[in-house]
A and B are shown apart, each in its own frame.
Chain A
Amino acid sequence: GAGVSQSPSNKVTEKGKDVELRCDPISGHTALYWYRQSLGQGLEFLIYFQGNSAPDKSGLPSDRFSAERTGGSVSTLTIQRTQQEDSAVYLCASSVRDTAYEQYFGPGTRLTVT
């Protein structure tokens, strides 16, 4: 079946502009996660959606970052007034229920802020 998809695969934007990154999880997966990975680093947790529960936003680095998940499926991560330090690969993952289960990752969006 289809895996997790993300779009765009690459995004180059100018400092100060807003960007939206999209994630389509595996159908039927109730949990969705966003991570950020800077060059040569491990993954940094950003936000976690689980069913209809309030999302865990504790990993968002600043109030310029926000995310929503509509209809329990597609998610959008929005970065406002982008800064150069926002440049990274943004990875989305989904799992069948919660963190007790393996996560399936999308291919990521490489964001470059110039």
Chain B
Amino acid sequence: SQQGEEDPQALSIQEGENATMNCSYKTSINNLQWYRQNSGRGLVHLILIRSNEREKHSGRLRVTLDTSKKSSSLLITASRAADTASYFCATVKTSGSRLTFGEGTQLTVNP
């Protein structure tokens, strides 16, 4: 089964609204990363948060990590139509060498 599971699977909002996506995982991690994918091709790295961090910001993005609940959230504020994409969380286990991806959230921002 996937190490990371995103929730919801699909999200549709209006431009200007905030979008929140959640990710849950099963095992202890070294870090958790969020990626964006447009049109089913290459992924773009958004934010990396390490296991000893609780919150990180990057522009309109805010990521939180709760290791006690094994969950993370990605908040996109003041969304734009250009934010329409699939968003994936990916985890690196404490003792692992690979990045394990969830199945993603499809975000649609309507103009």
A interface residue numbers (CB < 8 A to B): 4, 33, 35, 37, 39, 41-45, 48, 50, 56, 58-59, 89, 91, 93, 98-108
Contacts and interface: CB of A to CB of B under 8 A. Distances in A.
Interface of B, secondary structure class, is strand
B31 A45 contact: no
A41 B103 contact: yes
B69 interface: no
B28 to A, nearest CB: 14
Interface of B: 2, 30-31, 33, 35, 40-45, 48, 50, 88, 90, 92, 96-104
Contacts, number: 65
Given A33-B99, A42-B101, A43-B101, A99 B92 contact: yes
Nearest to A93: B43
Contacts of A50: 97
A43 B101 CA distance: 6
